[in-house]
C-alpha cells in the first residue's frame, strides 16, 4: 500500500507550473501476525463476505446500468461460490461511456491539480484505513492473494490533459493495477473509460466505489465491464481515443496496438499507448552466491500467488557445483508449502490459479514436462480442479536450456532449472539475454563483485527490473518503479515519475515582456 502524503503543486491559471514540494512516503507493510488488529479486521471482513455475491453494474455517467448479458466472477479456490454478478456493456453502452467521459473533460482538467490529488489522497486514506479489510477480503476471495493497493504511483507534475479519453484495461492479478491504470491518467486531468478484468470484478468495483466516496466526480472514470474484444473494437473506433493504459498479456496488447494503427486516420491525436505485459523472469546463480538467499528467494518468487505475478521467477540457471545443495534445500522447502483455501487458513502460502482457462494452460505445461525426454519434474506436478483450480508448486529440471518451457510465459506455480558447468557462466549470461523475447524482471545471485558487474552489463536489456542478490518479484512503489522492455511492454515504469508524465500533454509557453521594435538583425546594418 502506498500512501503519498503530500504532493504540492501550484499551477498559475492557464499553464505554468511551479513544483514546490514533493514528499513520497510508503505505507508501512502490515504483517497480519496472530493477535494483530489488522488480522482481526481482515477475518471479520472475510466472514462477512463468505458466500456473498456482490452485484456489480456498469456505471456510466454516474448511473448504474444493467444489461441482459449477465456474467459471474467465480472464487478460484471454490468455483461453486459466485463472488460477483456483473453484466457486459454492449457497443452502445461503451459509446455512451465514452461520451459521458468526454462531457466531463474540461471541467475536470480545469480543477487545480492539488484539488484532484486530494481526492486520490482521500481514497488512499480510505484504502489504508477503514476500507482496507474489505478490499483485501474481496481480493483474497476473488483473486486469491491479498495484494497491496496503490492508487497514486508517485509524485507528479501536471501539464495538460489529453484531448480525448484514455481507455484503461486492467488484468486480473493485482487489484492495485486496476486502480492505478484508471487513477493515474485521471489524476493528471484526463477522463477515463475503465474496463476491469472479469476475474477481478468484485475488488475492482470496490476500488471504484471508494474513489467515488473520496469525491471523484461521477463522469471522470466510467466503470465499464465488457467483453474484451468488443471493448477493444469499440474504443478504437472513436475519434476521441487519446490513450490506452493497458496491463495484461502480450497478445492482447499487440492486438490493441494493431487495431490503433489500422484505424490511425480516424484519430484527432496520436493515441498514447502504454502497455505492461508478460515476462519470462530469471534467477541466475553464480558459484559465489549465498545459497539461503537463492533458495528462499526462489520459493517466494516462483510460487507466491501461485506464480501469477508478471515478475514471478520462471527459469533458473544454477552451476553444477551448487546444484546438489540448492536442489536438496528447494525440495525440502517445497514440501512445507501449504496450498489451499487462504480465507480459512492463514498458513496457506498460495491458493488456486485464477480460472479454468489458466488451469488448462498450466496443465498442458505439466503434461509437456511429463512427456519430454529433456524434462524431469523433481517435485510437484499434480493438479486438481474438483473444488478449485489447484496446482502444486512444481520444480522441473531441464537438460535443454532452449526448451519452450524456458522461453514462454506460464503464469502458474512452475519453475524450471537448467544446471550449467560452473566455468561456463558467461555463456549462460548470454543465453539468458537471447533465449526469450521478454525483458521484464531478473535476478543475479553472486557475492563476487566482478561477476555482478559483468552480469549487469550483459543483462542490461534483459530486465526492466533487475535485482542483485534479491528475488525477481516485489517491487515497491517509488523505490523500484516497475516495467519491462522488449516485448514485456513500453517500460513506462508505474510507480515512478516518468509514468505520471506519460498521461499529460505538455505545452511550452514563451511570454515576452519587451516590445519588438524592428525585424532587422544587427548584423544586417
Residue ranges binding ligand NAD (CB under 6 A): 169-174, 177, 195, 197, 228-229, 231-232, 247-249, 252, 255-256, 276-279, 310, 409, 411, 440, 482, 484, 488-489
Shortest distance, CB of residue 73 to ligand NAD, whole angstroms?
12
- Taking the least distance from each CB to ligand NAD, the nearer of 121 and 172 is 172
- Taking the least distance from each CB to ligand NAD, the nearer of 3 and 484 is 484
Cα dihedral: 32, 139, 500, 480 (round 10): 40
Cα–Cα distance, 122 to 142 (Å, whole number): 25
Phi, psi for 111 (deg, rounded to 5): -65, 130
SS (H, E, C) 61-115: CCEEECCCCEEEEEECCEEEEEEEEEECCCHHHHHHHHHHHHHCHHHHHHCCHHH
Q: Which three cell numbers stand for residue 232?
A: 477493444
Shortest distance, CB of residue 177 to ligand NAD, whole angstroms?
6
Q: Are 238 and 98 in contact (CB under 8 A)?
A: yes
- Taking the least distance from each CB to ligand NAD, the nearer of 319 and 495 is 495
Shortest distance, CB of residue 265 to ligand NAD, whole angstroms?
20
Shortest distance, CB of residue 524 to ligand NAD, whole angstroms?
58
Shortest distance, CB of residue 322 to ligand NAD, whole angstroms?
29
- Torsion-angle region of 78 (φ positive above 0: left; ψ -120 to 50: alpha; else: beta): beta
276 tagged catalytic: yes
DSSP element (H, E) containing 201: helix 201-213
- Taking the least distance from each CB to ligand NAD, the nearer of 114 and 355 is 355
- Taking the least distance from each CB to ligand NAD, the nearer of 294 and 353 is 353
Closest CA to 281 of 402, 396, 170, 435: 435
Active-site residue among 27, 134, 144, 276?
276
Give every CB contact of residue 77 below 8 A, 6+ residues apart in sequence: 144, 340, 341, 342, 343, 351, 352, 387, 388, 389, 390
Catalytically active residues, by annotation: 276
Amino acid at each position: 500500500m502506498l500512501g503519498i502524503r503530500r504532493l504540492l503543486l501550484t499551477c498559475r491559471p492557464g499553464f505554468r507550473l511551479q513544483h514546490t514540494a514533493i514528499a513520497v512516503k510508503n505505507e508501512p507493510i502490515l504483517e497480519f501476525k496472530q493477535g494483530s488488529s489488522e488480522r482481526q479486521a481482515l477475518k471479520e471482513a472475510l466472514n462477512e463476505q463468505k458466500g456473498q455475491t456482490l452485484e456489480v453494474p456498469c456505471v456510466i455517467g454516474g448511473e448504474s446500468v444493467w444489461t441482459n448479458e449477465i456474467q459471474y466472477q467465480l472464487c478460484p479456490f471454490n468455483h461453486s461460490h459466485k463472488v460477483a454478478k456483473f453484466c457486459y456493456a454492449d457497443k452502445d453502452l461503451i459509446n455512451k461511456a465514452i461520451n459521458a467521459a468526454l462531457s466531463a473533460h474540461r471541467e475536470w482538467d480545469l480543477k487545480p491539480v492539488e484539488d484532484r490529488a486530494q481526492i486520490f489522497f482521500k481514497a488512499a486514506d480510505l484504502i489504508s484505513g477503514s476500507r482496507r479489510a474489505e478490499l483485501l477480503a474481496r481480493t483474497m476471495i476473488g483473486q486469491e492473494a491479498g495484494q497491496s493497493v496503490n492508487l497514486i504511483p508517485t509524485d507528479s507534475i501536471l501539464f495538460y490533459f489529453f484531448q480525448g479519453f484514455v481507455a484503461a484495461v486492467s488484468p486480473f492479478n493485482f487489484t492495485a493495477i486496476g486502480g492505478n491504470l484508471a487513477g493515474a491518467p485521471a489524476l493528471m486531468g484526463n477522463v477515463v473509460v475503465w474496463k476491469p478484468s472479469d476475474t477481478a470484478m468484485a475488488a475492482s468495483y470496490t476500488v471504484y466505489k471508494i474513489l467515488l466516496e473520496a469525491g471523484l466526480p461521477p463522469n471522470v472514470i466510467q466503470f465499464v465491464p465488457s467483453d474484451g474484444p468488443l471493448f477493444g473494437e469499440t474504443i478504437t473506433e472513436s475519434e476521441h481515443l487519446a490513450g490506452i493504459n493497458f496491463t495484461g498479456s502480450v497478445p492482447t496488447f499487440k492486438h490493441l496496438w494493431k487495431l490503433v494503427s489500422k484505424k490511425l486516420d480516424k484519430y484527432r491525436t496520436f493515441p498514447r499507448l502504454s502497455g505492461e505485459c508478460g515476462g519470462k523472469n530469471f534467477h541466475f546463480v553464480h558459484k559465489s552466491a549465498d545459497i539461503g538467499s537463492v533458495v528462499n528467494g526462489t520459493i517466494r518468487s516462483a510460487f507466491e500467488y501461485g506464480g501469477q505475478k508478471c515478475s514471478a521467477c520462471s527459469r533458473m540457471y544454477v552451476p553444477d557445483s551448487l546444484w546438489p545443495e540448492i536442489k536438496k534445500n528447494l525440495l525440502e522447502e517445497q514440501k512445507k508449502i501449504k496450498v489451499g483455501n487462504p480465507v480459512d487458513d492463514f498458513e496457506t502460502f498460495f491458493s488456486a490459479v485464477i480460472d479454468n482457462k489458466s488451469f488448462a494452460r498450466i496443465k498442458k505445461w505439466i503434461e509437456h514436462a511429463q512427456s519430454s525426454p529433456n524434462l524431469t519434474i523433481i517435485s510437484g506436478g499434480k493438479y486438481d480442479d474438483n473444488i478449485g483450480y489447484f496446482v502444486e508448486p512444481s520444480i522441473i529440471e531441464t537438460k535443454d536450456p532452449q526448451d519452450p518451457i524456458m522461453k514462454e510465459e506460464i503464469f502458474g506455480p512452475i519453475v524450471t532449472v537448467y544446471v550449467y558447468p560452473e566455468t561456463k557462466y558467461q555463456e549462460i549470461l548470454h543465453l539468458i539475454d537471447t533465449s526469450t523475447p521478454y525483458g521484464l524482471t531478473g535476478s543475479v545471485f553472486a557475492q563476487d563483485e566482478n561477476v555482478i558487474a559483468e552480469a549487469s552489463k550483459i543483462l542490461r536489456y534483459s530486465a526492466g527490473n533487475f535485482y542483485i542478490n534479491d528475488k525477481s518479484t516485489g517491487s515497491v512503489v517509488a523505490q523500484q518503479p516497475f516495467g519491462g522492455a522488449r516485448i514485456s511492454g513500453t517500460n513506462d515504469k508505474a510507480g515512478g515519475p516518468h509514468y505520471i508524465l506519460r498521461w499529460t500533454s505538455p505545452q511550452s509557453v514563451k511570454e515576452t515582456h519587451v516590445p519588438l521594435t524592428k525585424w532587422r538583425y544587427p548584423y544586417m546594418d
